């Protein structure tokens, strides 16, 4: 594996529901190599999205550490984490989260707006618009820039979400079930687009999925079960177990 850009050590996340504690992540140790395409695979409810949210600094662990280039992210200030999220990280969600009142171009420009104050925004708006337009051209949506999201197909919405995640040129891209709402053809298109970010452009891409068809195409696969990383053989046995339960 290449030099790790991200590591977790004994990572745990527990949620409290009234008086009940629900442990979701249970002592996870993992390493993500710089410029690699990593899949985190597991059935629904095993903790995949929670793990991705903690690694991308959208949520905080209840124990353990998340290290970016050796720095303990949650030992740093909230301002430090915000800078990392704004400058180094791009995030692609399963449900797109495009603002319906904005055009596709306006949605892709949002990260640039968030990163500047109102006065500074006036000075960078033209450049931000040009970057957003180029990114939409890259994902094949140059003819959809002035459309509202409601006029796009599911695959087009996800490509717009990818353009938004990439417009500030992040080093690391996290994708949470980005093909979960797409048909087979659109799903593979989105998958190949994310994979090419690592293979062709040297980005570090971490994608959560429950779709085992993508496994052979990944450079690293991490199998998650009940909040823990397991090996491939254990993952196969557990997948068969869950499949049989689904047939009962």
- Structure confidence by residue, pLDDT tens digits, 124-173: 678 888 889 998 998 899 999 999 999 999 889 989 999 999 988 899 99
- Structure confidence by residue, pLDDT tens digits, 202-214: 999 999 998 889 9
Residue 186, pLDDT score: 87
Q: Where do the domains of the chain lie, and which CATH numbers do they carry?
A: 4-95+170-247 (3.40.50.300)
Burial 92-107 (b: 16+ CB within 10 A, else e): bbbebebeeeebbbbb
pLDDT of 1 over the 90 cut: no
- Write the CA distances from 107 to 60, 145, 174, 200, 236, integer angstroms: 27, 10, 18, 25, 40
Q: DSSP H helical segments within 57-117, as ranges?
A: 78-88, 104-114
Q: DSSP H helical segments within the chain, as ranges?
A: 48-55, 78-88, 104-114, 118-138, 154-166, 184-199, 232-247
Banded model confidence at residue 233, pLDDT cuts 50, 70, 90: low
Residue 123, pLDDT score: 61
Euclidean distance between CA atoms 176 and 91, whole angstroms: 8
Q: Which helix (H) or strand (E) holds 209?
A: strand 204-209
Euclidean distance between CA atoms 74 and 130, whole angstroms: 35
pLDDT of 91 over the 70 cut: yes
Euclidean distance between CA atoms 235 and 112, whole angstroms: 40
Residue 247, pLDDT score: 44
Mean pLDDT (whole number) for 240-244: 55
């Amino acid at each position: 594996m290449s030099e790790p850009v991200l590591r977790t050590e004994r990572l745990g996340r527990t949620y409290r529901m009234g008086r009940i504690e629900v442990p979701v992540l249970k002592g996870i140790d993992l390493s993500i190599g710089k410029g690699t395409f990593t899949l985190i695979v597991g059935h629904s409810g095993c903790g995949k999205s929670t793990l991705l949210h903690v690694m991308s600094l959208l949520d905080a662990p209840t124990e353990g550490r998340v290290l970016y280039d050796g720095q303990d992210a949650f030992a740093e200030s909230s301002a430090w984490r915000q800078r990392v999220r704004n400058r180094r990280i791009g995030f692609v969600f399963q449900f797109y989260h495009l603002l319906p009142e904005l055009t596709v171009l306006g949605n892709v420009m949002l990260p640039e707006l968030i990163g500047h104050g109102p006065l500074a925004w006036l000075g960078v708006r033209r450049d931000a618009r040009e970057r957003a337009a180029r990114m939409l051209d890259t994902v094949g949506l140059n003819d959809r820039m002035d459309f509202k999201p409601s006029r796009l197909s599911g695959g087009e919405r996800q490509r717009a979400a990818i353009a938004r995640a990439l417009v500030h040129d992040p080093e690391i891209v996290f994708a949470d079930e980005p093909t979960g709402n797409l048909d087979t053809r659109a799903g593979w298109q989105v998958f190949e687009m994310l994979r090419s970010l690592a293979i062709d452009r040297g980005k570090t891409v971490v994608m959560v999925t429950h779709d085992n068809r993508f496994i052979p195409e990944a450079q690293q696969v991490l199998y998650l079960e009940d909040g823990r990383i397991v090996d491939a053989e254990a993952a196969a046995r557990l997948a068969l177990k869950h499949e049989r339960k689904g047939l009962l």
